[in-house]
């Protein structure tokens, strides 16, 4: 289920994109699963159709979905993350919760770790 948090500094389009990407990568949305039509999802989430269209376009650009007039927007095959990585992500989330970390704090820690693993970026963690 996709939700929009109006208090989130991240815009609605990015919230939709991120949630759908996570659902695809986790296998919650299977290969060839049909996403709701843009207008339907926009109505359900009470956002402009352009907001959903932008999210779908970004997902398509990332290769996660494909769009066809007759078939609508569907999940591309082969987008589910490897089982080991999904297990690691779930374990990280469980451990963070057990240690009392909030989602935003964990996201910042992951972002810092991600950035420090890039070539030429000093290790900050």
Q: pLDDT for 17-63, tens place per residue?
A: 999 999 998 889 999 999 999 999 999 999 999 999 999 999 999 99
Domains, the chain, in order of start with CATH, read 12-75 (1.10.10.10), 83-116 (no CATH)
pLDDT for res 5 = 93
Only one residue has tokens 């082969």, namely 78
Q: How far apart are CA 67 and CA 73, in angstroms?
A: 4
103 pLDDT above the threshold of 80? yes
pLDDT at res. 125: 43
pTM of the model: 0.71
Q: 104-114 burial, b if ≥16 CB within 10 A, otherwise e?
A: eebeeeeeeee
pLDDT digits (tens, 9 = 90+) for 53-93: 999 999 999 999 999 888 899 999 988 777 787 788 889 99
């Amino acid at each position: 289920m996709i939700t929009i948090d109006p208090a989130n500094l991240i815009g609605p389009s990015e919230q939709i994109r991120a949630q759908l990407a996570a659902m695809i990568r986790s296998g919650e949305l299977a290969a060839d699963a049909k996403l709701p039509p843009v207008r339907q999802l926009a109505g359900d989430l009470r956002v402009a159709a352009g907001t959903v269209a932008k999210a779908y376009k970004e997902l398509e650009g990332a290769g996660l979905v494909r769009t066809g007039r007759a078939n609508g927007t569907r999940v591309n095959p082969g987008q589910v993350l490897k089982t080991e990585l999904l297990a690691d992500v779930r374990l990280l989330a469980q451990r963070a919760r057990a240690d009392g970390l909030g989602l935003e704090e964990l996201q910042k820690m992951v972002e810092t770790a991600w950035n420090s693993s890039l070539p030429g970026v000093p290790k900050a963690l």
